[in-house]
Amino acid sequence: MGTLFTSKPDKQVSILLDGLKSSGKSTILNWIIHGKFIEPAPTSSFNLETIVVGKNKTKVSIWEPAPTNEVFKGELKESLSAIIYVIDSTKKEQFRQCKSDISQLLENEFTKNVVFLVYANKQDLENSVDVKKIKLLFSELFMSRRHRRESYEYDEYGQENRKSDDRFMIQSCSAKTGEGVKEGFEWLIKKV
């Protein structure tokens, strides 16, 4: 467990870290908590890491259940502030399943007000699908999101044209090198 401050936090946040098997969830969690690459072990039931971040001393609990642990995900719903979903950008054949998973998460009443960050992981690999294409493929999921405050537009490259207080983002990253992980997490913390 990581701790950046020892005084009492001003705010508490619970984050669900989700995605398909071997997408890089545990490696991203290690970057967030430890700031470096640590070779992860397979997640058997769940990982829980807590860290206190920022000037306002936000206590962040990140829950990473094993991909098959649906019961655990249901128990977390009452206190959920944000969802991080990790996509393996090299496995285009899994995009349909990822879209289905994200859609199911968005349709739940407990996600109505959560911040949603999608990491398009493994962008450092040659066979990865470019993040602009991923944004185009996945943007439709967020266009109909019930709790958005205003509509969002995307240009032909999948770039967001933000009109107001958006609560979702697709971030290019590499869990191996750490590129993009910090930027995505900082965005998420500002939004919660």
CATH classification at residue 184: 3.40.50.300
**pLDDT score at 10:** 74
pLDDT of residue 5: 44
Residue 170 lies in a domain: yes
Does 6 map to a domain? no
Judge whether 82 lies within some domain.
Answer: yes
Q: In this predicted structure, what is the pLDDT of residue 175?
A: 96
Q: What is the pTM of this model?
A: 0.82
pLDDT over 90 at 59, yes or no: yes
**5 belongs to a structural domain:** no
Residue 157 domain-assigned?
yes
Evaluate if residue 3 carries a pLDDT over 50.
no
Q: How many whole angstroms separate alpha carbon 18 and alpha carbon 25?
A: 7
In a domain? residue 84: yes
List, for residues 95-109, the tens digit of each pLDDT value. Answer: 999 999 999 888 888
CA torsion angle for 83, 88, 94, 95 (degrees, to 10)? 60
| Spatial contact of 46 and 65, defined as CB atoms under 8 Å apart | yes
Count of domains forming the chain: 1
Q: pLDDT for 116-167, tens place per residue?
A: 999 999 999 999 999 999 999 998 887 755 444 444 455 555 555 544 447 8
Helix, strand, coil shares, percent, the chain, to 5 = 35, 25, 40
Which pLDDT score, from 0 to 100, does residue 125 have?
A: 97
Q: Has residue 136 been placed in a domain?
A: yes
Range of the domain at 117: 11-191
**Residue 4 belongs to some domain of the structure:** no
